[in-house]
Amino acid sequence: MAQRFAARSRPERANLYQEITDRIITDLEAGRVPWVQPWGSANAGIGMPHNAVSSRRYSGINVLTLWHAVVSRGFSSHAFLTFRQAAALGGSVRRGERGVGIIYTRRFVPSGERRRADTEGTATSGGIPFLKHFTVFSVDQCDDLPEHICLPPPPIPDGLILPHAEELIAATGADFRIGGPSAYYSPGHDYVAVPRPDDFHEPINWHRTAFHELGHWTGHPTRLGRDQTGSFGSKDYGREELIALSGQSAPSATLQ
């Protein structure tokens, strides 16, 4: 049994090591040193990644992995929790959110070895070390968590989103999410995400970005049904971008 267990764990362990190595290389290529806390480029303040429920700090390679997530995804907190922990608190992970894979290490002692140790009154052997992979989510990716777990982000300053632009966005009925480091439309999950308007140097550029992504939103199969599968640089991709650009132009021009 121990041999079968070890055989199953080796490929998984190799994949985990490669995944973590790839993350570190990505940071280095981007000019970040992942073992030095990069709070200067993050939305979150200085802090250690920790479990939002137990307040226990993550350790080892998990610290680098979660710091990378905080910076690359623009999370405003160092608090993370599992899907089940969010549900147990009465909250939920938002649809379409992607978690962060971390690892947990411990030793497995077979039942036969435990019985032998109990019978002989001796200590068990060192056991079989194993690596477990599981997924955590930032509290920023969850809804309806208790206030002591997830402090709400500061309100968007008045005047940054023009009232008639806000009315137009609401009238579309789109699942429109504000926050995070990137602007995009997710065809698979059918939502638009844009950074906060106070992250932009000029407010008009937030509006241009919002209407650009809403232009992509119109292409969903339940609406205009455009082909949005084109890869970057292809004719289909270029056509879709032109449609989104035309969709942002008229609304943005009327806002200036």
Residues 212-237: pLDDT tens digits?
999 999 999 999 999 998 888 889 88
Residue 86: its H or E element: helix 83-88
Give the pLDDT confidence score for residue 253 in this predicted structure.
63
Domains of the chain listed by start with CATH number: 2-143 (no CATH), 163-255 (1.10.10)
Cα(238)–Cα(25) distance, integer angstroms:
31
CB 213 within 8 A of CB 185: yes
What's this model's pTM, rounded to 2 decimal places?
0.49
The answer to whether the CB of 134 falls within 8 A of the CB of 58 is no
- DSSP 3-state helix, strand, coil percentages of the chain (rounded to 5)? 45, 15, 40
Residue 242, pLDDT above cutoff 50: yes
Tens digit of pLDDT for each residue in 14-50?
A: 566 677 777 777 766 766 655 554 444 456 666 789 9
